[in-house]
Amino acid sequence: MPGMINGKPVEPKIFMAVLYDPNTGHIAHYHRVLQFDLKAKVGKAYVEERAKEMATRHGWDISKLKTLHVDHSKLKKGGRYGVDHKSRALVELQPQPVPRSDSPLRL
């Protein structure tokens, strides 16, 4: 997602953090920060704080959540992810099967 600074195209640096339940690995919230001005100071602490702030705005109790910084370029479009709580690593989850229209709905 290029941007423009002083009339010149700029490719942003992208930071990403996920907030997850350390017991289950379920990702409660993720947040990306795009840095277009490479002179600006953006670090992991800032990204983490913004992720927590936004999660709180969405109603999450962040007191029990842990943070993991993620390389967004490793994510697949449409992929589902969780955190392996033992290794603290992002893992791709298997896709959930879509119920057929002629099959009974299970809850």
In the chain, which stretches have pLDDT less than 70? 1-2, 98-107
pLDDT of residue 81: 93
Where do the structural domains in the chain lie, given as residue ranges? 3-93
Sheet holding 13-20, edge to edge: 27-35, 13-20, 66-70
pLDDT of residue 106: 45
pLDDT of residue 3: 72
Kindly give the pairing relationship between strand 66-70 and strand 13-20: antiparallel
| Greatest pairwise CA separation for the chain in angstroms | 58
Task: Give the torsion through C-alpha atoms of 50, 51, 55, 56, to 10 deg.
Answer: -40
pLDDT of residue 100: 63
Instruction: Give the C-alpha separation, 85 to 27, whole Å.
Output: 11
